[in-house]
Structure 1
Amino acid sequence: MYSLLQPILYSFDPEQIHEWTLGLCRRAEKIPGFMGLIGSMFSFDDPRLAVSIGNLTFANPVGLAAGFDKNGIAVPWLHALGFGHVEVGTVTPKPQPGNPKQRLFRLREDLAVINRMGFNNDGVEALVRSLQGINRQAPVGINLGKNKDTPMEEAAQDYVKGLKAAWELADYFTINISSPNTQNLRSLQQEEFLYPFIREIIQTRDQLVEQRGSYRQVWLKIAPDLTDQELEIICGIVLDLKVDALVVTNTTISRPGLQSPQREEMGGLSGKPVFELSNQVLSEVARLTQGQIPLIGVGGIFSAQDAFHKLSLGASLVQVLTGLIYQGPGLVRSINKGLVGKLNKNKLSTITQLTGSAFELQQT
């Protein structure tokens, strides 16, 4: 069905389609019984898919990456599609329009997307209002960013504001310092900035735990364009400061073997061409951290085999977004169903046995 709609959808501007989709999601939630119907069509349940990270349990390892629902307006719909977790955002303390349009490009020949959105969102207070009172069926993460006009030396304060404002409504927070679309943001991944930056965020989190009596995980999302030396430094810092998980990876500024005429557009590249690059980073991070911190694998997942590969390289969870655009809403069910097939083939009793076992399992 989705394949029949694709030619029509692709005839419109991708950002316009995105906005229409979110609007339809909001309206569909109000139709009695409709969300249950969507859930019966797209979700796939099997207790062997459950994953625990710290104080959180995920019914399956497939999550939605940040960027689809920036303002948290479609979470019940996304839960109905069967995601094991949904990450909303990126959200900043103040509303901001992002970069000038056109800023989102489909690279159909490459099964990829280039975006230079620039953290367009309605601000953290609007996100809080959207998330209040919703029926949660899976963990919800909030991806935090900095406002464009916040000086770099004050960047940590933007993330602290996000933590404080949305504390009660997040199961975890992802610290996004790896988007290529906010000037100088990626410099926060450098050693001289990263340690004091993360330390301030973790100290704030610990203070909030004491004040409010509830724990919230802090994850860090990193870029795929880091050197091995930079990765080693980052891994050392997150282990030392006890970050709860690493999200590996964000979009890339490289353009590996692209065919689309839009391949030279500025922005972050996501989709199939990022798969191998993100896997290389994931494998190296897994080697450096040796199971001491959970990893979330992101980048180029279009199938159960893709998800399986990231899990076997060391990821505990995976996230999808561009694959959802090209494969449609049935992707989550397809991946989870396929992963159960992997468990059966390898005679495993739980999905967690896949993590980090790349050379021990039958790959097909």
Structure 2
Amino acid sequence: MLYSLARPLLFSLAPERAHELTLSLLKSAHRMRLIRSNIPAKPVTCMGIEFPNPVGLAAGLDKNGAYIDALAALGFGFIEIGTITPRPQAGNPHPRLFRLPDAKAIINRMGFNNEGVDALVEHVKAAKFKGVLGINIGKNADTPVENAVDDYLICLEKVYNYASYITVNISSPNTKNLRSLQSGDALTELLETLKNRQLELAELHQHYVPLVLKVAPDLTPSDIEFIAKQLLQFKIDGLIVTNTTLSREGVETLQHAEEAGGLSGAPVFEKSTACLAAFAAQLQGQIPLIGVGGILSGEQALAKQQAGASLVQIYSGLIYTGPMLIEDCVNTLKAL
């Protein structure tokens, strides 16, 4: 109800300003103990981790891990922070975030704006949250794509002791050539190198942190087949399906549709769910899937599960529906 009252004000502001204000207000409300969550328990074990419920927050909302405790108070089963890069970077020029309210959609070209991995680690250490925390890692924009693995290794090593699982983001459309890492020798080298280092870190620290890959929805059937084989070959622990899309199908006539960047929200639901089902068919339950993209209702969360997801994540749906979306999704999944 409170979000319903606040939404007109937030939508009157520039999207990025509204984003910052929402997080600031949420943090203040949490400090004043004003947040009450009634999310029922629905434990799910995935990747060797017990999740209190299968509905998580997707990466991108809290890039620096500065709002972990406040976000966790909303009742998420898990929180994913990032995408983080080795060095701080400003991201792309403003404006870089656009609402398409008639389609319940967002276009963003943020460009991995973040304070750098060291700042994120300090925020995580300061948080009181003891639940499931995913950390999403990427590369700096000025790192040549042929050297991208070096950036991922830096982040992997620095966050290893602070993450429940680590997501390798090679699917944002807003860092030049990043998506080229989803194919061919580039993907093979990346996965092999990161897997080897993960095993070394597990031995060094005497605990195993799962490694997850996040892919785009704009993949061909042959892309999906190739990625699935690579995941199995290198024993990657999980797959997040999907990131934002470059497609503008369904929003072509709307204001801001021509803006560059990734499209999220309702229009990506069908595409991302079809991609999820295609990976499920290839992987045959050998690697757990996390479904994300266009979830604005519990029924859509259920559709992700029916397409093969063990867990789901939400982000853009929160902007249009509010935090009550979490409870709707958990209750719908719990009903089964």
Given the two structures, how large is their TM-score scaled by the length of structure 1?
Answer: 0.90
Q: Does 1:326 align with 2:320?
A: yes
- Does structure 2 conserve the Cα–Cα contact (< 8 Å) formed by 1:92 and 1:119? yes
* C-alpha separation in 2, matches of 1:43 and 1:162: 35
1:210 is matched with: 203
Question: 5 Å matches for 1:256-271?
Answer: 256-258=249-251, 259-271=253-265
Task: Identify which range, 97-106 or 145-154, moves more after superposition.
Answer: 145-154
* C-alpha separation in 1, matches of 2:163 and 2:194: 15
Q: Which runs of 5+ in 1 are unaligned?
A: 344-364
* C-alpha separation in 1, matches of 2:49 and 2:196: 21
1:14 is matched with: 15
- Does structure 2 conserve the Cα–Cα contact (< 8 Å) formed by 1:42 and 1:330? no
Shift of 1:22: 2.0
* C-alpha separation in 1, matches of 2:38 and 2:124: 22
Runs of 4+ displaced beyond 6 Å: none
Describe the shift of the 1:71–1:324 C-alpha distance in structure 2 as closer, same or farther (beyond 3 A): same
* C-alpha separation in 1, matches of 2:64 and 2:225: 34
- Does structure 1 conserve the Cα–Cα contact (< 8 Å) formed by 2:301 and 2:312? yes
Report the secondary structure of 1:15's partner residue: helix
Shift of 1:54: 2.6
Cα RMSD after superposing both structures: 1.1
Report the secondary structure of 2:287's partner residue: coil
1:253 is matched with: 246
- Match for residue 84 of structure 2 among 73, 84, 91: 91
* C-alpha separation in 2, matches of 1:260 and 1:64: 27
Letter in 2 for 1:177: I
1:361 is matched with: none
1:340 is matched with: 334
1:223 is matched with: 216
Shift of 1:79: 1.0
- Does structure 2 conserve the Cα–Cα contact (< 8 Å) formed by 1:79 and 1:137? no
Question: 5 Å matches for 1:1-364?
Answer: 1=1, 2-31=3-32, 34=33, 37-38=34-35, 41-46=36-41, 49-258=42-251, 259-341=253-335, 343=336
Report the secondary structure of 2:50's partner residue: strand
* C-alpha separation in 2, matches of 1:81 and 1:90: 21
* C-alpha separation in 1, matches of 2:333 and 2:160: 33
Report the secondary structure of 1:221's partner residue: strand
Letter in 2 for 1:12: L
Shift of 1:137: 4.2
Report the secondary structure of 1:292's partner residue: coil
Q: Which runs of 5+ in 2 are unaligned?
A: none
* C-alpha separation in 1, matches of 2:283 and 2:310: 13
* C-alpha separation in 2, matches of 1:169 and 1:230: 32
Shift of 1:319: 0.3
Shift of 1:185: 0.2
* C-alpha separation in 2, matches of 1:54 and 1:278: 22
Instruction: Provide, for residues 218-243 of structure 1, a one-character-per-residue CA deviation record: whole Å limited to 9, x for no partner.
Output: 10000000100011000000111000
Letter in 2 for 1:26: K
% identity of equivalent residues: 49
* C-alpha separation in 1, matches of 2:239 and 2:47: 13
Instruction: Provide, for residues 253-286 of structure 1, a one-character-per-residue CA deviation record: whole Å limited to 9, x for no partner.
Output: 0011114211111000000000000011011100
* C-alpha separation in 2, matches of 1:207 and 1:23: 39
Shift of 1:29: 3.8
Given the two structures, how large is their TM-score scaled by the length of structure 2?
Answer: 0.97
- Does structure 2 conserve the Cα–Cα contact (< 8 Å) formed by 1:62 and 1:84? yes
Instruction: Provide, for residues 187-211 of structure 1, a one-character-per-residue CA deviation record: whole Å limited to 9, x for no partner.
Output: 0001221001111011111111111
Report the secondary structure of 1:10's partner residue: helix
* C-alpha separation in 2, matches of 1:306 and 1:43: 21
- Does structure 2 conserve the Cα–Cα contact (< 8 Å) formed by 1:112 and 1:269? yes
